[in-house]
Amino acid sequence: MVPSLKPLPPIESGASLRIIAPANFVAERDVVPGIRFLRSQGFSISTCPNLFEQEGQFAGSDKTRAQSLMDAFADPEVDAILCARGGYGTPRILDLIDWDLIAANPKPFVGFSDITAVLTALVLKCGMPAFHGPMVRDIGENVNDKTHRGLLEALRGTHSDWPLLWEDVKVLREGKVRGPLIGGNLTVLAAIAGSSMALQADGAILLLEDVGEYIYRMDRALVQLSRSGALHGVKGVIVSDVVDVEDGNVPFGIGVREMILSHFPDVPVIAGFPAGHGPIKATLPLGVAVTLDADKDSPSLTLAT
Question: Any idea which residues carry the catalytic annotation?
Answer: 113, 209, 277
Give the type of residue at 250: V
d(CA 198, CA 190): 8
Q: Tell me which residue of 47, 53, 24 sits closest to 34, measured CA to CA.
A: 47
